[in-house]
Amino acid sequence: MALLGLLLMASQASAADYEVATQLGVVYAEHDGTKLVGDLYLPKGLAKAPALVAIHGGGWQNGNRAFYKYWGPFLARNGYALFSIEYRLGKPGVYPAAVYDAKAAIQFVRAKAASFDIDPDRIGLIGDSAGSHLAALLALAGDQFTSAYRDDPNAATPVNVKAVVAFYGVYDMLAQWEHDLTARPRDNIAEKFLGVSPTENRRIYFDASPISYATVDRNKVHFLLIHGTNDDIVDPSSQSGAFLTVLTQAGNFVRRIIIPGAGHFWSADPFENDPNGYGATAAPRLLLFLGSSL
């Protein structure tokens, strides 16, 4: 398996012909006085490149756009633009504020596609952990979040993403809340993000869960779910496993990569010079998925 990964990485590397053009600190929106920024990685010289908006994890409380400082250049060299964003965290980002921030980033990329030589019809999302939650939620239910920030310059631009790459994501908020009771009883990340417990408001847990929107009328988005076998922060069975089942039932194109021994918080690690690392294991199949889905 390791040899196969190396061979695939080598073949992909030989096809990675593009230089990388980087734009740091690009302002994509301003919400409630906070300027929201992202870093843009572009495949230099490629006309109408497909693009990914990257949404970092960190339990909706921590993290930053640098989580994708390795994936950005790697994907740009392989012909995919990547816009790695920051969004409001902690109390300023409590649901649904962070959702609207991430949605504004997608709308910005689509609205400004011509300026960046991006194909507005080939936009996908990539996220990890809490970022995967936001990516999956917006991919399936972006049209449900329309009541706030209607004066955004790109508010009328549809989300309409084609594909989602999701590392060890949270897709069922009630299941995460129940898991947090045991795994992190002093830091229930689901309850902190939603602002209430399910004993106070069960509806918000349903509305904030991507799994709630995996239905046959929303089955056009392709998904790649990636997780390890040893994740004790986000339970693979009740999250990625359950989401895979529901997406499949709804008719979505969905693939999964299970990485033996991998826990949580590794997608931000450098991987191109570590052929045995988790990121290097995922990278070839991730590129294959993007090639067929974006």
- The more confident residue out of 148 and 1 is 148
pLDDT digits (tens, 9 = 90+) for 256-289: 999 999 999 999 999 999 998 999 999 999 999 9
Amino acid letter, 172:
D
Here the tokens at position 145 are 């979040």
Q: What integer is the mean pLDDT of 80-107?
A: 98
Here the tokens at position 67 are 């989580």
Mean pLDDT of the chain: 94
Using DSSP, state whether 226 is helix, strand or coil.
strand
| pLDDT for position 153 | 96
Q: Phi-psi region for residue 160, left (φ > 0), alpha (ψ -120 to 50) or beta?
A: left
Residue 79 pLDDT more than 80?
yes
CA-nearest of 81, 75, 84, 80 to 131 is 84
The neighbouring-strand residues paired with 54 are: 84, 126
| pLDDT for position 16 | 63
Model confidence band, residue 183 (pLDDT cutoffs 50, 70, 90) = confident
Q: For the ranges 2-16, 61-75, 116-130, 208-222, which has the lowest average pLDDT?
A: 2-16
Collect all residues with Cβ–Cβ distance below 8 Å to 54 and sequence separation of at least 6. Answer: 65, 67, 68, 71, 72, 82, 83, 84, 85, 125, 126, 127, 131
Q: Which CATH number does 2-293 carry?
A: 3.40.50.1820
Q: Cα–Cα–Cα angle for 239, 142, 197, nearest 5°?
A: 50
Per-residue DSSP letters for 242-263?
Answer: HHHHHHHHHT--EEEEEETT--
Residue 9 pLDDT more than 70?
no
Residue 12 pLDDT more than 70?
no
pLDDT digits (tens, 9 = 90+) for 204-225: 999 999 999 999 999 999 999 9
Domain boundaries, the chain: 2-293
**201-217 exposure pattern, b = at least 16 Cβ within 10 A, e = fewer:** eeebbebbbbbbbbeee
